[in-house]
Structure 1
């Protein structure tokens, strides 16, 4: 007996049935749908809502289907969706009594449950990928604790850092991406089953039991909200968009740094290509693709929010259109995370070039101003003015950091109407040396090797705790 036979007089046209069908994307929730039916039927049996013999036949049929897999289903548009395909399979084995499986349950609360079951697994898998990436970066960074590098603001030379410090900045961003997903998981892992179409049911069902059987943390306490809530999807895709933004930034840096002009990194051949006409080329194609693909996830977020913004309570068919965008966002985020992890951890830093850049363009000038404040007690703005003039004059005279002496500083200070500072030349030299400059920054969060090592230790504690929670 088809679901349409009672209320509707005619079948849909083939075109309308095809347009209405969600089968292509329902394949993703196939196993979750079996779990949901199994838990619901077990609850109906436990509460004596359906007789045990009928329930056992249904449960046996569901077990059989789980073993046979989705290929055992008749998947054509006549069954509309995977829920009806599974129900038809069970009816073919059990007979009309299989219809008791649908007692006190609607496709509305069933699909909402299925989505949450699948999504929580996708979230956990992506989180494990993030943890693995963090762990890999930390190990990579350990080899570069004293590899002096240049930090940028406005993509201009700013101040010396280390390669390790820069890598650990990405670690902190990835940690937040992980934590956002962890927080979202709390709202994903709630049970809508029992909401039925929108008003629960008059049958004495046990929602606590299905919640326990399906491993949810709790159940949704409003049936209208239970069948129509999809903000957990929007929230997840927002988190994935943030993750992909982090990954895209990493790719952008690798693309820039691998150019001849920067010459900072060499991307592995495995993640590069060459030109069809220019044989000398080595192009960062994978990094560019990852940078481009990351935008897809942001696009999916906007699509999902746009679908959601004008839907009244409760279930509307528009909601069916959200799930393809969710799964695509998950697929793109997961694959991009995997490829960027492998690509970043395979790059080689040109340490000589890093040191060269760190020692150019007066990137150490801030510390020259700082020692004036520390040693001579002058206001920082005064020191800022003196050092700014030093950089201007030295640049015009084609001088480097090594040419700046105490007497040179005093001449500039007097030209500006200030007293001589008479700084010790060794102190000046140390302030302008990029490695010494980095080592002086011993404030927590700073780039000195000991502070970066402390940050690494803290991240390792975080990793150990999270791996233990996940049983890894």
Structure 2
């Protein structure tokens, strides 16, 4: 019978109930973290005098053997935490039961989950940094590549490919900031909270927190074991990443059509048809678009599980873990695949330049030029250019403008300072883009500065990620050294 049931119950759990309540199919995700939590707790118990050096050494040796055997070697159990303890008792005898002194599965689970989420978020940050690096490289290469800009998916104003890629990079930069901010709320330690009311044993929560790479213990023990807002926030961050990825992928799908022909996606990231041999389908971009819905769905499921749960621990929370794991892992996988797809994409710059004036794309600049050269109100200029668009005059002459100006302002604009060269300059797409030289604009000079600033921020984010990883790595080394010291002193 289960080591947890043998005191309170006289019979084992029904096999169907065991299958219904077990989380083992998902718990391989938590297995390495559970072992570290066990080790840190044993080290703390030993230092506080609750277990002897001999017992601590036997337990730590048993945990090392369980780690070497792997998750698949664990016995059947309700969850990985019970399975590890059962395997430990089977190896080292009843002394293995001392490991659970001053601890509950509740704080054990909550601690393992935070460690797993932390690991996934750090991996996600690395993947985001790689994607942003690719976007910035494309932008740097295409500062002078003119392309059509769209609103409502209709031609609006000419821009540059650099400007377009920088827009996506900026969104992913905010994703990094969100994740880094969220990480500060993830990286606090519930261990020592026990079932929810802490423990009457004298323990050192600061020590276990430090050995596991956390910033600090999570203070209120009831909140520590029952809260999952950190996971909801983490999956919320992942959902935002996926929404931003989906928008990028949507554009790549559209741009790769024959009607647009703005990009060729790499063969390794596309498929063909089983019946139409000419097809090159953007499958990766389409699946990524769909997976954004999957991740958002996991977020909704997670929130529905948690809503209305009374304090403190409820078994409902076990059902949250698969949604958290799937959301974070799907996001990481999608980021990596999309980065490779974008890195291998070839942009059709000639086609971009060809389409850039379509739909009277320079109309806004022409209106601006009328204002600058003649001093008329912008609304008058807007009316004049709007009338030219209505007539289909996408390449108007000065006489076309004068004719309509007579109706709108009562005077030809050529008599108010408008020169033919002004009109010609306003209708040239590259000239038009160059004039948009303010902060954040599409001009080559503006995007040069934007790329430099984005690179600086990218490097700053990378430094912060490295610092967090170094703290976690240092903690692992400290934990390993503490364990080795105990095992060596046996």
**Common topology (TM > 0.5):** yes
Displacement, 1:111? 0.4
Structure 2: gaps of 5 or more residues: 468-490
Residue matched to 1:312:
310
Aligned residue for 2:478?
none
Q: Does 1:283 align with 2:281?
A: yes
Contact 1:294 1:336 in 2 (8 A): no
TM-score by length of 2: 0.92
2:235 aligned residue: 237
Q: What is the RMSD of the two structures over their aligned residues, measured on CA atoms?
A: 1.3
Q: Choose the corresponding residue for 1:451, options 446, 450, 464.
A: 446
How far apart, in 1, do the equivalents of 2:445 and 2:372 lie? 23
The answer to whether the 8 Å contact 1:120/1:188 transfers is yes
1:151 and 1:161 in contact (8 A); partners too: yes
Structure 1 pair 381/417, CA: closer, same or farther in 2 (3 Å)?
closer
Alignment partners' CA distance in 2, 1:233 and 1:71: 26
Per mean C-alpha deviation after superposition, the further-off stretch among 371-380 and 431-440 is 371-380
- Aligned partner of 2:352 in structure 1 is 354
Are 1:271 and 1:286, in contact at CA under 8 Å, matched by a contact in 2? yes
Q: Tell me which residue corresponds to 1:173.
A: 171
Matching of residue 465 in structure 1 with residue 457 in structure 2: no
**Conserved? CA contact 2:104–2:195, under 8 Å:** yes
Q: Which residue of 2 aligns with 1:411?
A: 403
Structure 2 residue aligned with 1:9: 10
* Local SS of the residue matching 1:36: helix
Q: Which residue of 2 aligns with 1:163?
A: 161
Q: 1:446 touches 1:452 (CA, 8 Å); kept in 2?
A: yes
Determine the C-alpha separation between the residues in 1 that align with 2:20 and 2:358: 63
Q: By how many angstroms is 1:35 displaced?
A: 0.5
Q: Secondary structure at the match of 2:309?
A: coil
Alignment of 1:377-456 (within 5 A): 377-393=375-391, 395=392, 399-401=393-395, 404-422=396-414, 423-456=418-451
Q: Following the alignment from structure 1 to structure 2, what is the Cα–Cα distance between the partners of residues 151 and 441?
A: 13
SS of the equivalent of 1:95 reads helix
> 2:120·2:329 contact (CA, 8 Å) conserved in 1?
no
Q: Which moved more, 1:7-16 or 1:50-59?
A: 50-59
Post-superposition CA distance 1:8-30 (Å, at most 9, x none):
22221110011011111111111
Match for residue 486 of structure 2?
none
**In structure 2, what is the Cα distance between the partners aligned to 1:70 and 1:277?**
44
Deviation at 1:214, TM superposition (A): 0.7
Asked if the contact 2:380/2:408 (under 8 Å) is kept, the reply is no
Report the more deviating stretch, 330-339 or 317-326.
330-339
The residue that corresponds to 1:182 in the other structure is 180
Structure 2: how far apart are the matches of 1:20 and 1:111? 15
Tell me whether 1:126 sits opposite 2:121 in the alignment: no
Correspondence for 1:254: 252
- Listed as ranges, the gaps of 5+ residues in structure 1 are none
| Partner of residue 300, structure 1 | 298
SS at match of 2:30: helix
Matches within 5 A, 1:81-230: 81-230=79-228
User: In the TM superposition, what is the alpha-carbon distance from 1:409 to its structure 2 partner?
Assistant: 0.7
- 1:455 CA displacement: 0.8
Deviations 1:95-152 (A, max 9, x none): 1121111001000000000001111011000100000110111112222111100111
| 2:74 alignment partner in structure 1 | 73
Cα deviation, 1:210-232, whole Å, max 9, x if unaligned, reads 11111101111111111111111
- The Cα shift of 1:420 comes to 1.6
- Residue 51 (structure 1) aligned with residue 43 (structure 2): no
Give the structure, 1 or 2, with the largest relative contact order (CA under 8 Å, sep 6 or more). Answer: 2
Q: Distance in 1 between matches of 2:212 and 2:422?
A: 67
Say if 1:150 and 1:159, in contact at 8 Å, map to a contact too: yes
Give the Å deviation of 1:417: 4.4
- Local SS of the residue matching 1:24: coil
Residue 412 of structure 1 deviates from its aligned partner by 0.8
Task: Give the drift of 1:471.
Answer: 3.7
In the alignment, the residues of structure 2 paired with residue 25 and residue 281 of structure 1 have an alpha-carbon distance, to the nearest angstrom, of: 39
Paired residue for 1:40? 41
CA distance in 2, matches of 1:445, 1:306: 40
TM-score for the superposition, normalised by structure 1? 0.96
Q: Counterparts of 1:284 and 1:143 in 2: how far apart (Å)?
A: 24
Taking the aligned partners of 2:51 and 2:430, their CA distance within structure 1 comes to: 76
Q: In 1, distance between residues paired with 2:72 and 2:240?
A: 37
1:325 to 298, 323, 345: 323
